[in-house]
Amino acid sequence: MTVTIYDVAREAKVSMATVSRVLNGTAVVKDDTKRRVLDAIAHLRYRPNAVARGLASKKTKTIGVIVPDVSAAFVAEVVRGIEDIATMYNYHIILTNSDAQTDREVALIGTMWEKQVDGIVFMTHRLNKSQINAFEQAQIPVVLCATEDEERRVPSVNIDNRRAGKDAAEYLMKRGCQKIAFVTTEEGLSVLSDRRGKGVAAVVPPDSLIRIDTGNGRYETALPILQDFIATRKIDGMIAASDELGLASIHAAQDVGKNTPQDVKVIAFDNTRLATMVRPEMTVIAQPMYDFGAVSMRLLTKLLLEEPVDNYTVILDHNVVERSST
């Protein structure tokens, strides 16, 4: 993997700004600190980007956008919102794919710093200490998009995922569902899914709730797991943590001879195009995907332009869109 300025900063136990000062000679750096930085550069065989060094201290009117999967329908709609507001304020975006891998996310934050982006819009499944440390090292504005920081250390835009989980559960229970499955990813993989699960569990009695972990949450991984559960367990309602898992739930029910919604009612999260491409069309907890991106980018512009910010943790509205799967 390419060595970035973040790797040098971590090796030398200094900030990326200090590494930059050593490379550019733009400020006085203590001799022992300078020596540590130079030793780290030699040890890691770091080759600084000459163009980025030349841009030091200048505004580039570029925004780094780091997302888990650029091919996901949810992400595509979010990015459209980011780009529209960025264009409105004369910014260009640099879009990168992290595959939701922490090491790659941290490396990309360093890469964005090297490219001298003015700020970063960041999406991930779970925020951890490594990412926070990378933000602190970069010393540039960051806004979390559809990403939850439970300690509220970083400005963010999201929905109330616990409340949304409750809403989904209450919706199914009002329609007579007595044995409900929460179809989700492996526990700990996504803080948003876990929060939704807590909301579901706050409403559905323990003896009426089944949690179905589907690993990475992909359709092809989830389908055989769901087929087995539906065939062997009494389930009359399913809450899927994403449209993709909702699609897998409907297909799995059909594959084992169950009808939706007569035998099994299905509600999912997101409201991407998948929700209306499947038959029956899916009832969803609709997330404001475009607004996630647009509001995140607008919040970032406020930070960059030093405009007043009323709330650094923005919670957007969600709603139930009823279709024929329930």
Separation CA 96–CA 121 (nearest Å) = 11
Q: pLDDT digit string (tens) for 297-308? A: 999 999 998 888
Cα→Cα distances 4→12, 109, 254, 319, Å: 13, 9, 49, 42
SS3 content of the chain, % helix, strand, coil (to 5): 45, 15, 35
pTM: 0.81
| pLDDT beyond 80 at 65 | yes
Domain annotation for the chain: domains and CATH numbers:
1-58 (1.10.260.40), 161-287 (3.40.50.2300)
pLDDT grade, residue 320 (50/70/90)? very high
Q: pLDDT digit string (tens) for 111-122? A: 898 888 999 999
Closest CA to 197 of 227, 168, 235: 168
Separation CA 114–CA 56 (nearest Å) = 9
Taking every pair of Cα atoms in the chain, the longest distance, rounded to a whole number of angstroms, is 74
Lowest mean pLDDT, pick from 20-29, 63-72, 129-138, 172-181: 20-29
| pLDDT beyond 70 at 280 | yes
pLDDT grade, residue 1 (50/70/90)? low
Angle, to 10 degrees, between the axis of helix 16-24 and the axis of helix 31-44?
90
Cα→Cα distances 63→89, 144, 173, Å: 11, 13, 44
